[in-house]
Amino acid sequence: MMSKIWLSPPHLCGEEMKYIQKAFDTNWIAPLGENIDEFESALKKELGTEKEVVCLSSGTAALHLSLILAGVSEGDVVVCQSLTFAASANPIIYQKAIPVFVDSEKDTYNISPIYLEKAIKSSMSKGKKPKAIVIVHLYGMPSKIEEIAAIAKKYDIILIEDGAESLGSSYKGKKCGTFGDFGVLSFNGNKIITTSGGGALICKNKTVKDRAIFLATQAKDETTHYQHSTIGYNYRMSNILAGIGRGQMEVLHQYISLRRSNHQFYKNLFQYIDEVQVLEEPCNNFFSNHWLSVITIDEKQTKFDRESLRIKLLEENIESKPLWKPMHLQPVFSSYPYYGTTVSESLFEKGLCLPSGSSLTDTDKERIANVIKDYFKVV
Ligand SMILES: *Cc1c(COP(=O)(O)O)cnc(C)c1O
């Protein structure tokens, strides 16, 4: 059997060990230390923002803290993009709030500004103005963030950008994660850079950052004994893992280029396969890190479908995955409201994520191309 080609495996550059060693040498084996400070600075620089960055134990923790900082509590309505990973929505339930799911639009696969506004208006007509909006830049593709931010502003609702998949992506040159009141990053093993597990919160200023750190480190009052006036969390990043992140930041731009060239490879490959569409930036305002390259196969028009292609790839030990199953179709969220039509549902049915790692080799690409050409009977 040929070796496995993974969808998006971790890709270490070698510099990570240097920073981990430093943490060991100085005994900073704690959720604080130089690696965390330096990783936060590097992220802030990458984002090109005056905002602050707080390194946390996961992207999910960052989403949860952003809801807490937004004041979301029991019974509040939070509008959320339906086509996403469950981690975008789960923290809404942690807060005992009510998720209201919204469909995608076809250009970016991200939240539809039209249905977003419908969801807000409908919620308001029932006497419940949403407390927050969670939007996603899926697969690295920036959402229609200007329109979305304008809607959030118009109704004065807190905007949370789930940028777990979009580090390095930008809209009109401004980095994803810096448009909203809060931005979220993830450094899970499958993301564009990794700390094995980890995440970050992007927030407005030092005051909010201090509050986030306070909550993320068990909410200890300023007393010599252990006193607590607020419920706290253990959500801060370890200084060891931040060492991996520091090393990974040195190669982020290189990895973005590699992911973008994977995308170009798929564009070339599918150029003459009419049944397949590759997700592309709608115009020059959008810059995607192309974390994952995504295709859709129109099943109604052809004898081909994403599931048989997925199996065919798997038989050759190549991993591919369907798009995220929309939240409003998930058994655990099926009782919550949904605004939209069938865009996200149809993307789920037709869409496939192809191997997109920055460590993908030319030999890997050749293997992938051979299976795909064989499947579509291209010579
Ligand atoms: C990975 C991911 C998360 C969760 O991040 P973790 O660091 O794994 O907790 C949230 N949202 C989206 C869209 C993701 O892809």
Residues pairing with 297 in the sheet: 276
**How high is the pLDDT of residue 79?**
98
Amino acid residing at 38: E
Residue nearest to atom 6 of ligand 1 (CA): 59
Whole-number Å distance, alpha carbon 346 to ligand 1 midpoint, is: 22
The total number of residues shown for the chain amounts to 379
Spatial contact of 323 and 178, defined as CB atoms under 8 Å apart: no
Regarding the beta carbon of 186 and ligand 1, being less than 6 Å apart is answered yes
pLDDT < 50 stretches in the chain = none
Which atom from ligand 1 is nearest to the alpha carbon of 61?
9
Q: Rounded to whole angstroms, how far apart are CA atoms 144 and 162?
A: 13
- Long-range CB contacts (within 8 A, 24+) of 360-367: 360/5, 360/258, 360/262, 364/5, 365/262, 365/265, 367/2, 367/5, 367/316, 367/318
Which atom from ligand 1 is nearest to the alpha carbon of 136?
13
Whole-number Å distance, alpha carbon 188 to ligand 1 midpoint, is: 7
Q: Which domains does the chain have, with CATH numbers?
A: 16-249 (3.40.640.10), 252-376 (3.90.1150.10)
Residue nearest to atom 10 of ligand 1 (CA): 87
Spatial contact of 85 and 164, defined as CB atoms under 8 Å apart: yes
Whole-number Å distance, alpha carbon 59 to ligand 1 midpoint, is: 5
Q: pTM for the complete prediction?
A: 0.97
DSSP 159: E
Which three-class secondary structure state does DSSP give residue 52? strand
Regarding the beta carbon of 297 and ligand 1, being less than 6 Å apart is answered no
**How high is the pLDDT of residue 378?**
81
Regarding the beta carbon of 309 and ligand 1, being less than 6 Å apart is answered no
**How high is the pLDDT of residue 30?**
85
Mutate to test the pocket of ligand 1, among 80, 88, 248 (most ligand atoms within 8 A of CB): 88
Q: Rounded to whole angstroms, how far apart are CA atoms 356 and 252?
A: 15
- C-alpha 311: how far from chain center: 26
Regarding the beta carbon of 364 and ligand 1, being less than 6 Å apart is answered no
**How high is the pLDDT of residue 379?**
65
Mutate to test the pocket of ligand 1, among 54, 60, 81 (most ligand atoms within 8 A of CB): 60
Residue nearest to atom 5 of ligand 1 (CA): 59
Regarding the beta carbon of 91 and ligand 1, being less than 6 Å apart is answered no
Regarding the beta carbon of 88 and ligand 1, being less than 6 Å apart is answered yes
Regarding the beta carbon of 58 and ligand 1, being less than 6 Å apart is answered yes
**How high is the pLDDT of residue 218?**
97
- Model confidence over 260-283: pLDDT tens digits? 999 999 999 999 898 999 999 999
- Copy the structure tokens of residue 12: 């270490």
Whole-number Å distance, alpha carbon 337 to ligand 1 midpoint, is: 23
**How high is the pLDDT of residue 299?**
73
